[in-house]
Amino acid sequence: MTHGDALIVTANTGSDYGAREVGPPEVDDGLPGGFVQTSSKHRFPWYVRLFFWKQRRRYGEVLEPARLWGRSPKVFAALALLYGALDRRSSPLEPALRSLVTVRVSQINWCAFCVDINSATVLRRGIAEEKLAALDRFESSPLFSTREKAALAYAEAVTFSDRRTSSEHFTRLRAHFDDDAIIELTALVAFQNLSSKFNAALGVEPQGFCAAAPQPRPAADGDPQDRSESG
């Protein structure tokens, strides 16, 4: 789920992905692939159909995670509002950083859909393709600022199941963020873990938003997780 995460991304109504003409809210057929399919005859509540209509305006189609979450309508609506709050303009975290964090968490959790849609947002927010491609090696890359490295290292520590956050993470973070921003960053990482794990578990496939999306890949030594040395 959206940019950032890209979970639902319905709280924003911009047309950055190329708007198409749309008619009244309808429910289209489900996408191929995935472990759970939603019938075109499924009856969604009116407010979920309104979310779908907004997605068609923004993306030209309904996002498959929205169709899945929409089968639990009240949870869907709450998650959409939460994402909108995390991705608000007044966030203490700049948009490009939020999107980088979202893509990195999605890579770790093997969410191909999330990497796809959030990579498109990264590029739209001014990050070069070269930097996006180096995201899984951010610690050793000169393309990332110390602020970005601190946030991404913290996001990895929260996301990898065999790691824990430490005083070193917070020392790095406090050189660039106040406590309120750290709380916001933690909330963003937690949200994207929920979104990407949901999509990955259900086998949600990419919808072709970004040809340059750096999809997760096995490490050279056979470790199924691509791990940096960021501790």
For the segment 115-165, what is each residue's pLDDT rounded down to a tens digit? 999 999 999 999 999 999 999 999 999 999 999 999 999 999 999 999 999
Weakest-pLDDT range from 104-108, 119-123, 222-226: 222-226
Average pLDDT of the chain to the nearest whole number: 85
pLDDT at residue 84 is higher than 90: yes
- What is the distance between the alpha carbons of residues 5 and 18, in angstroms, rounded to a whole number? 19
* 95-201: CATH number: 1.20.1290.10
What residues contact 71, with CB distance under 8 A and at least 6 apart? 38, 42, 44
- What is the distance between the alpha carbons of residues 73 and 67, in angstroms, rounded to a whole number? 10
Given a contact cutoff of 8 angstroms between Cβ atoms, the answer to whether 116 and 210 are in contact is: yes
What residues contact 187, with CB distance under 8 A and at least 6 apart? 86
- What is the distance between the alpha carbons of residues 42 and 38, in angstroms, rounded to a whole number? 7
| 166 band by pLDDT with thresholds 50, 70 and 90 | very high
CA distances 221 to 57, 184, 224, 226, 227, Å, are: 44, 35, 9, 10, 11
- What is the distance between the alpha carbons of residues 153 and 175, in angstroms, rounded to a whole number? 14
Burial of 140 (0-12, 13-18, 19+ CB in 10 A): exposed
What is the pLDDT at residue 137?
97
Query: Radius of gyration of the chain from Cα atoms?
Result: 17
Percent of the residues in the chain that have a pLDDT greater than 90, as a whole number: 76
Burial of 167 (0-12, 13-18, 19+ CB in 10 A): exposed
- What is the distance between the alpha carbons of residues 165 and 55, in angstroms, rounded to a whole number? 36
What residues contact 194, with CB distance under 8 A and at least 6 apart? 7
Domain extents in the chain? 95-201
111-116: average pLDDT = 97
* Single pTM value for the model: 0.82
